[in-house]
Chain A
Amino acid sequence: MSSAKRTEMNPDLQKERDGASFNPYSLTCLLHAGEENVERKRELERLAFDDPELQHEDLSFLSRDERYTLGLKKTIRFLNKCWDLDITGIQDVNTYRRAVFRGMLEPLSVHYGMFLPTLLSQATEAQQDKWFSQALNYAIIGTYAQTEMGHGTFLRGLETTATYDPKTEEFVLHSPTLSSAKWWPGGLGKSSNHALVLAQLYTQGQCYGMHPFIVQLRSTEDHTPLPGITIGDIGPKFGFDEVDNGFLMMDHVRIPRENMLMKHSQVLPDGTYVKPRNSKLAYGTMMLVRSYIVSDAAQSLCRACTVAVRYSCVRRQSEIKPGAPEPQVLDYQTQQYKLFPLLSAAYAFYFASHYMMDTYFQLSGNISQGDLSQLPEIHALSAGLKAFTTAVMSSGIDTCRMACGGHGYSHASGLPLLFANATPACTYEGENTVMFLQTARYLVKCYGASKTNEKLSGTVAYLSRVQTAAVSGKGARDLLDLEELVGAYQHRAARLVGMAANQLQAHTKAGKSPEDAWNSCSVQLVKCAQAHCHFFVVRNFVDTVRTADVDPASRAVLTTLCQLYAIHGIIQNSGDFLEDTYLTGQELQQVNSHLASLLAKVRPDAVALVDAFDIPDEILQSVLGRYDGNVYENLYEWAKKSPLNKSQVHESYHKYLRPFLQQNRAKL
């Protein structure tokens, strides 16, 4: 989408930008934590965009095979550039990576995302000497083989076995059933020559549960699978075309004892199992991964909103008043109602991910000093937030796509691909329902503790102040007041947690086992966890708006967005607020009028608000969302490149259609 037909800006978009009430650059700086970061980001992006080695055809026109190959080519270019130009530091590397891949996925992301970190955290020093530097320098490529065909989120259910043979001091890795085939790991099918395989450890006749083993999969000489290894790609998916998610079956594959990662537990040469010291460190990695997912969810939503909001200012449709010119579709209240709540959610999630990252780094500090006290709370929050943000993001991208009408359905919009590549975040790294239930388990525990007068702190402190009765007779409340809104969400969350916990108790008292009681309340439990996360996101948004170091114009527009986010959530979940009459029907009507005025208030700033995300066209990959708004010219140019347009008359005409038509005509 590089060949712009016109360079001047679409006048409608220009007008939108001229009419904004604030300078988007100041929000860009806030979102990226400072002007210096923004400038560095742009510099690194330029470096990738200008690289002649990184130019290629639009992905939509490439086959899966071509996309996988392109993914490998880019990966190698990316690594070489990082090494040559000394691009280090997690933020720089990630920025440069995004600019190199431009919405594409990476075939080798599991190598740096899971293989390397797991070696670091679970390998002994001797093992690190042997494997880590090879892996770090990409002399070997590894994947992380955990999920199996028949087993996903529930790790203890995995079937692959690693049986210790003390005679030869080897482990025998084996896939005993079809459903035990490793299935889904990224890069497993075609790219990797090594894997960390999670398997049930058997020694001295006993099973000790899941442990990681390093298994060489393919020859380092010619890349053919080693004896006993059956390996391949699992076939095409909704998205992730560039990734060779793979399968692996092992037929009694023998590996040396030293290939079990033994930093925590060990198997001695004679087969004795040595238990790990209690380690909660694994939680740390999980939290970091989930924080990244929250951040990715925010960014995916930013991209979708950017496309839909810009296009809605370029597109004109129907008539509001007879005879008047067709208005921009963003002037329709229904369009604003689809897009602005998502725009506000994108900001809300962005700030939530800032909180999670900051907390993670602060917590890591505490943990290294032996303080684990905050870990369960933040762990529970990270599980719920992962589920909450990815669910909103996934359906939100879809809403943005449909808001672009027919053209949203074309790959030219970039939205089908964005959706297909982003929606698996709802499933991977912990399926969303399972995540919410983890959060719920913690919340119910806290609620129980508060009943026995234990004092709660941090993000769950509010649970000890559950207001059982509604706040009545409080007089006229201003439901645009941010504190009032936070209070409403807090009350809702506390009430729903209390309700779910009480229901659980009632079921247990009625004679159900704790497990059956849990299952019969699980719909309520999920809802209370959602309400808790929703409350956190609102409160964090409010805190950010209050404390952010920005000019008054930017703070004003952020305040409007924040109000919109909270008000919209109340309307969407009005039953939760009305049920115990915390809000009255009359108040809800006011909330509805507030919503209408907030939509109108955001309208003139909408384009500036998406511009502030600072997503370059090269990364946006959308004809509809182009910064210059020259949509139609470029839609036409894009279509002309469709593979079916290579010839005026498609070859299938000669093969099938022509003989058929001629024969029919002859019969007339």
Chain B
Amino acid sequence: MAGQVNPDLAKERENASFNTQKLTNLLYGGAEKVRRRRYIESLAFSDPAYSGDEDPVFMSREELYSSQLKRALTTVQRVKELNITEEDLSTYRNAALSGGMPGLALTWIAFIPTILQQGTEEQKQKWLKPAQDLSIVGAYAQTEMGHGTFVRGLETTATYDPSTQEFVIHSPTLTSTKWWPGGLGKTSNYATVMAQLYTQGKCYGPHNFMVQIRSLEDHTPCPGVTLGDIGPKMEGNANDNGFARFDHVRIPRENMLMKFARVEPDGTYVQPASSKLAYSNMVYLRGTFVMSAAQALASASTIAVRYSCVRRQSEMKPGEPEPQILDYQTQQYKLFPQLAAAYAFWFAARFMTQQHASITGSMEKGDMSGLAELHALSAGLKSYTTAVMSAGIDVCRMSCGGHGYSHASGLPALFSTGTSLCTAEGENTVMMLQTARYLVKCFVQSQSGKTLSGTVAYLSAVQPSPVSGERNMSDLGTQVTAFQHRAARMVRHAALQMQTEMQKGKSREDAWNSCSVLLIKAAQAHVHSFVVRNFAETVQTVEVEESVRAVLTSLCQLYSLHGITEHAGDFLMDGYLTGRDIDAASSLLSAVLAQLRPDAVALVDAFDLHDKMLHSVLGRYDGRVYEHLYQWAQKSPLNKTEVHESYYKYLQPFLKSNRAKL
């Protein structure tokens, strides 16, 4: 198993039309950042404390849980020893914990940020340090067995008792059981618990409370607290997603996180000063989802594209050698749109990060004007990108044929992990409807003469009639305009449909529900048009050498032409595009597929995903797939013995008795 690269892959790399490194630098924001990221990752990859474990797919749930817990604890130690800075922290952790997120990580991901955002100065003093040093381990307990996305529906109660100055945390029903929070089942000894606040006989809605759930001495559950793991899931089984029930558990008044709302010792509720900060945090969090979607799709494309150059199959022409399967147009049609979407989402995520930073600046100066627009965009983008990613990984898996189905490909685990983002942090349909609500509002405002700006400005410019005449369908500007027209028309159509339903006597809520399929589609079209426009602008304005710009331009064309042909009906419906335009788009699409073919491997290489992050025998950088597939299989637990023990127990007596009967 020499370190040679598979000759087919080597040839692909030699023939690329651009310098991969330049594109990598563009994706990660400069050569220095790429170098830094590789260095930090190498610290984890070369660390013997993390090596030696089996492939997670060979482990039982319990082994996996323990192994990742151990790794997580090691990272905490290493972060101190190596002086890993705040900036490099997530890179380091991702590299060290690439086998799956442990329950312990929720302390960093959710528990500490909640204290930071919602705790008073005193509360931060009290809990932040212990949490950061991991002398306490925390979970964020919001969702309940019967309640998810709709936070106001939560049933857990926190009732204030002024006589002892305590809150009584209680789970009144089975459905109020906290369910799903990561790290809650076995790992955490603290949790921030979201509960309906009752004081002076009145309910003030959901608030966060700090509750100790396990003894710091022996880790047994505290009195009145029932805890456990919620059982195995599709993926994420290193994480002890848990349940918690509270039976009149008393906590001091000071354990309510009171940066915003407060309860005075006598039980008086003090309303929070209107805070839009929560929205801003949500915008940020959703931005990270968009980046995760881009990265997951980048990983899946990397695996599938590389393997498609190593794998040879069938014959195109009788007698000739079997071609690389990436030479088949149908294979390109499956994979290149995923590859293009990975780039498109990567740039969309970057836009979100920049906008969030700029809006945080404005908000500090008291200017909240851009928040609503960005919030609506972030909801829709989260939904759109995670949905495309989830389906896209599955396409990549199936495009790898039988081997894609093996855990050796890494794709089943990548899918199972990635798909959870469609439901987590706001279910995708609910997210899309949030965006739709904003769009309809904007449309109505524009009808009454208001000028819209930013990402929704185009809504005021709906062209009611089609633009006739010849079009150059390969022109990015033409494509962007087409997507905007489609979105504007669909928003308008959904809004008018709602009005019609209401005129027929339906309540606003019923009208909304009966138009919600149209509303979702309108919001999707809006987000789609944003992604296309942002991709096109990036390609046109980014500072990069021409060969890189050229390949990015092809990718961008592919992304939008694929979108146009997949949704042809939306463009044809009002005659904005003609049947002939769609035909032209189809032919151009075929041409762009062929054009991208020689650059496909370089385009996935540019994502710069290390083999230790990919976890895929099929997607290895060196393309030595078959030898490693064979080696990997040897490690299967069923191969521990030549003859499996079940043979002696079941098969041998059965076969013998059957032979005797003959």
Contacts and interface: CB of A to CB of B under 8 A. Distances in A.
Given A224-B642, A233-B633, A334 B143 contact: no
Interface in A220-247: 220, 222-225, 232-239, 244, 247
A221 B516 CA distance: 67
B233 interface: yes
B175 A632 contact: yes
A251 interface: no
Given A61-B231, A639-B228, 5 more contacts: A220-B659, A234-B636, A578-B568, A599-B517, A656-B70
A320 B234 CA distance: 31
B305 to A, nearest CB: 17
Contacts of A427: 398, 401-402, 404-405
B19 interface: no
B84 to A, nearest CB: 17
B10 interface: no
What is the predominant secondary structure among interface residues of chain B facing chain A? helix
A412 B241 CA distance: 14
A322 B312 CA distance: 60
A125 interface: no
Given A516-B316, A585-B574, A644 B185 contact: yes
Interface stretch (B127-135, B454-462, B550-558): B127-135
13 contacts: A233-B639, A235-B635, A326-B150, A409-B423, A410-B230, A523-B330, A575-B569, A640-B228, A643-B62, A650-B65, A650-B240, A653-B186, A657-B73
B281 interface: no
Contacts of B299: none
Contact of A420 (B334, B412, B573): B412
Interface in B144-198: 145-150, 152-153, 174-175, 177, 179-180, 185-187, 189
B610 interface: no
B622 interface: no
B15 interface: no
B268 interface: no
B649 interface: yes
A332 B519 CA distance: 13
Nearest to A578: B572
Interface stretch (A151-159, A257-265, A476-484): A151-159
A642 B232 contact: yes
Contacts of B189: 661
A222 B643 contact: yes
A302 B185 CA distance: 34
A157 B313 contact: yes
B69 A656 contact: yes
Interface stretch (A64-72, A290-298, A354-362, A531-539): A64-72
Interface in A300-340: 315-322, 326, 331-335, 337-338
Interface in A623-668: 632-633, 635-636, 638-645, 648-653, 655-658, 660-661, 664-665, 667-668
Nearest to A431: B401
A437 interface: yes
A526 interface: yes
B422 interface: yes
Contacts of A190: 638, 643-644, 646-647
Give the interface centre of B391, B574, B658 by most chain A CB atoms within 10 Å: B658
Interface stretch (A133-141, A208-216, A367-375): A133-141
Given A64-B637, A333-B517, A321 B579 contact: no
B407 A236 contact: yes
Contacts of B424: 406
A574 B520 CA distance: 17
Contacts of B538: none
Interface stretch (B111-119, B214-222, B467-475): B214-222
A428 B234 CA distance: 23
Contacts of A636: 145, 174, 177, 243
A9 interface: no
A550 B433 CA distance: 41
Nearest to B645: A69
Contacts of B232: 60-61, 410-411, 642
A134 B651 CA distance: 15
A641 B231 contact: yes
Contacts of A193: 655
B230 A138 contact: no
B575 interface: yes
Given A235-B407, A632-B175, A657-B187, A157 B314 contact: yes
A638 to B, nearest CB: 6
B335 interface: no
A153 B401 contact: yes
Interface stretch (A16-24, A176-184, A553-561): A176-184
Interface in B269-294: none
A321 B229 contact: no
Interface string A126-151: 00000001100111110000010111
A155 to B, nearest CB: 10
A426 interface: yes
B147 A317 contact: yes
Contact of A635 (B145, B510, B514, B633): B145
A276 to B, nearest CB: 21
B629 A149 contact: yes
A395 interface: yes
Interface residues of B, number: 145
Contacts of A140: 655
Contacts of B499: none
Contact of B219 (A133, A237, A326, A658): A658
Contacts of B547: none
Contacts of B428: 402
Interface stretch (B44-52, B53-61, B527-535): B53-61
Contacts of A600: 514
Contacts of A424: 402, 405
A592 B517 CA distance: 10
A627 to B, nearest CB: 20
Nearest to A235: B636
A76 interface: yes
A579 interface: yes
B169 to A, nearest CB: 19
A522 B330 contact: yes
Contacts of A398: 390-391, 394, 419
B633 A232 contact: yes
Given A238-B412, A319-B150, A334-B517, A513 B636 contact: no
Contact of A220 (B61, B315, B655): B655
Given A72-B651, A579-B582, A595-B517, A513 B314 contact: no
Nearest to A585: B573
A520 interface: yes
B233 A657 contact: no
A632 B146 contact: yes
Given A232-B636, A411-B233, A644-B186, A574 B402 contact: no
B611 to A, nearest CB: 18
Interface in A456-496: none
Contacts of A621: none
B516 A579 contact: no
Nearest to A331: B513
Contact of B149 (A317, A428, A596): A317
B317 interface: yes
Give the interface centre of B148, B633, B649 by most chain A CB atoms within 10 Å: B633
B416 interface: yes
B322 A157 contact: yes
A588 B489 CA distance: 14
B427 interface: yes
4 residue pairs, one from A and one from B, having the closest CB atoms: A575-B568, A574-B569, A238-B412, A644-B229
B505 to A, nearest CB: 15
B661 interface: yes
B579 A581 contact: yes
A64 B147 contact: no
B147 A574 contact: no
Nearest to B518: A592
